[in-house]
Amino acid sequence: MAQSKIEWTDVTWNPTTGCTKISAGCKHCYAETMARRLKSMGVEKYEGGFSLAVHESALDAPLRWSKPRTVFVNSMSDLFHRDVPDEFISRVFEIMAQCPKHKFQVLTKRAGRLERLSRKLPWASNVWMGVSVEDSRQLHRVESLKSTEAIVKFLSLEPLIGPLSDLKLDGIGWVIVGGESGPKARPMEPSWVLEIRDRCVDTGVPFFFKQWGGKNKKKTGRLLEGRTYDGMPLERAAV
């Protein structure tokens, strides 16, 4: 477990690490940069850098956490990567089901594999399942998410690098929007964000605006039309 600076979670849990790029949103992957840094520091878990690795020893960690937490699962990987065995994914879901006092946020770009495995997984009410969508070319991920057995379904529209005018929010319980950050950050237009915000308001979907991003994300901040948006799924209140 590691404390997280991500605004919408408390801690991170990485039973797998490493990944490979599959779409434009992966271009400036923060996790890849971090993995290389951790490898150079001699952190054993990252001795392979950003190559996909499965960590059996990390599986039961949540069982030992006494204080209720909101947990981002695999901030340094993608649980549904093709190189993660089906059986290991099921074991991750079994551990989450055994820890009802925690809320687990699982996020993937591999929505096709998520859809295929969904009926084989032990879905629990404390598992929030999300997909990342960076532009309109990836809206198919939303439809794959909707077809799953997940009770809470959410979208991470980050890094948002294009408009999502055809986004449909039926069946979605939470939306996060954020711009890309870092020295090579691609710009995010305010109109893209406002269109999504307005759609969330109109449909009653909790909306969380994470950041404008850019080269200095602290400077650009996370105010949208003069206010912050910290919407969360209602289930969080039960933690």
Question: What would the pLDDT profile of 164-186 be if each residue is shown by its tens digit?
Answer: 999 999 999 999 999 999 999 99
With a cut of 60, say whether residue 143 has pLDDT above it: yes
Query: Domains in the chain and their CATH numbers?
Result: 2-20+27-238 (3.20.20)
Rounded to an integer, what distance in angstroms lies between the CA atom of residue 150 and that of residue 80? 15
Nearest alpha-carbon partner for 92 in 67, 111, 117:
117
Structure confidence at residue 3 as a pLDDT band (50, 70, 90): confident
CA angle at 7 for the pair 100 and 82, rounded to the nearest 5°: 65
Is the pLDDT score of 206 beyond 60? Answer: yes
* Cα–Cα distance for residue pair 81/108, rounded to 1 Å: 8
CA 75 – CA 104 distance, rounded (Å): 12
Share of the chain above pLDDT 70, in %: 97
Whole-number CA gyration radius for the chain: 17
Helix (H, G, I), strand (E, B) or coil at 26: helix
- Whether the CB-CB separation of 73 and 105 falls below 8 Å is answered with yes
Supply the pTM of this predicted model.
Answer: 0.95
Q: For 64-86, what is the mean pLDDT?
A: 97
